[in-house]
Amino acid sequence: MQVLAKLEELNRRYEELDYELARPEIVSDLVSLKKFSKEQSQLSDIISAYKKLSGVIHEIAELEKIISDGEDPELVGMAREDLLGLTERRAQLESEIKLLLVPRDPNDEKNIFLEIRAGTGGEEAALFAADLFRAYCRYAESRKWKVEMMSVSNSGSGGIKEVIALVYGQGAFSRLKYERGVHRVQRVPLTESQGRIHTSAVTVAVLPEADDVEVSIDPKDLKIDVYRSSGPGGQSVNTTDSAVRVTHLPTNIVVTCQDEKSQHKNKAKAIKILQARLLDKMEEERDSEISKERKSQVGSGDRSERIRTYNFPQNRVSDHRVGLTLYRLEEIMEGKLDDLIDPLIIHFQTQAMKDTFTN
């Protein structure tokens, strides 16, 4: 059995780690100790389930022997009853183990950069970008995550042309990574006198925060420009050149930050965003399929490319990837997103499990 062979291999590795962690030279080497401890911790749930499965398989073998011998009819009857329960338990454990064997996304526990941009639809798209950002902030608050504004470009009527925020919190990437893509909204704008429904679109990108070890940037590869911050309509909001534009010359990725009054703080924020975008680019290049998926999700912000539709007149939200429709749009815009996110996680975990055991 393919799964059992894999489990036996992992169990051998777990025992090797036990041996390594008991060696004095490893205990005194903090780097190696941390590395081996982390690997063993990641294996612990799988090994625990494997030992339970091994025990169930052994019990099943014993019961099948009793049944095949058939010496005591009463004992055989009891063995058949016990066998039914153990067979169900085995199937349950095997399903749990298959899910545990799916390769973990190394970014799942990271903080994220949440980027929302108004797409097709003009001012209405900017207004929905602001509404969507508020919904994510409320969701973050419900999970006790912290949201730090990195950069924002407001529109003239209270909307947002573009916003970038750093979301701190355990599992932020694992919960929000499937939000990236085009979100389409259908509603009657406040400026629409005849009550016609307007359709617009917003793009969402979710990037894991990168650290200096993962993405090292050579200062020689950066072009730094400073200029005076400006607000909606171009009016100056700062009397000093505190706004910063950072261009990564090898990739031509450009990041601007102007929210802080300090040029130093704006530069630091821009570098952090640049690191996240470079990490995202590196991961896309390592896996062409991920690259294709992300491009198909994010696209250009056109109405025809969408992962989700928010229909306000019908109080309806539909996720087109999993065929999910909920008639609780008001609640969702208040940040109650779990009923949308949980089905997506299950769907993509199931797909990953199929890929793992068919390749």
Cβ count near 91 (within 10 Å): 11
Confidence of residue 213 (pLDDT cuts 50, 70, 90): low
Confidence of residue 118 (pLDDT cuts 50, 70, 90): very high
Asked if residue 237 has pLDDT above 90, the reply is: no
- pLDDT top residue among 316 and 280: 316
* Mean pLDDT (whole number) for 178-186: 94
Quote the distance between the C-alpha of residue 91 and its chain's center.
29
Percentage of residues in the chain having pLDDT higher than 70: 88
- Count each helix (H run) and each strand (E run) in the chain, helices first: 10, 11
- How far CA 353 is from CA of 56, 170, 215, 323, in Å, comes to 23, 24, 30, 20
Domains of the chain: 2-101 (1.20.58), 112-351 (3.30.70.1660)
Distance between CA 73 and CA 55 in Å, rounded? 25
Cβ count near 115 (within 10 Å): 21
* Mean pLDDT (whole number) for 54-81: 89
Tell me, what amino acid is at 297?
Q
Distance between CA 115 and CA 97 in Å, rounded? 35
Task: Enumerate residues 6+ apart whose C-beta is below 8 A from 128.
Answer: 118, 121, 159, 183, 185, 187, 200, 202, 310
202 close to 183: Cβ distance less than 8 angstroms: yes
Asked if residue 60 has pLDDT above 50, the reply is: yes
135 close to 335: Cβ distance less than 8 angstroms: yes
Distance between CA 116 and CA 107 in Å, rounded? 20
Can you give the pLDDT at residue 233? Answer: 46
Asked if residue 110 has pLDDT above 90, the reply is: no
* Mean pLDDT (whole number) for 191-204: 84
Distance between CA 5 and CA 37 in Å, rounded? 24
Confidence of residue 155 (pLDDT cuts 50, 70, 90): confident
Confidence of residue 269 (pLDDT cuts 50, 70, 90): confident
pLDDT in tens, 1-11: 567 788 888 89
* Mean pLDDT (whole number) for 180-209: 87
Asked if residue 256 has pLDDT above 80, the reply is: yes
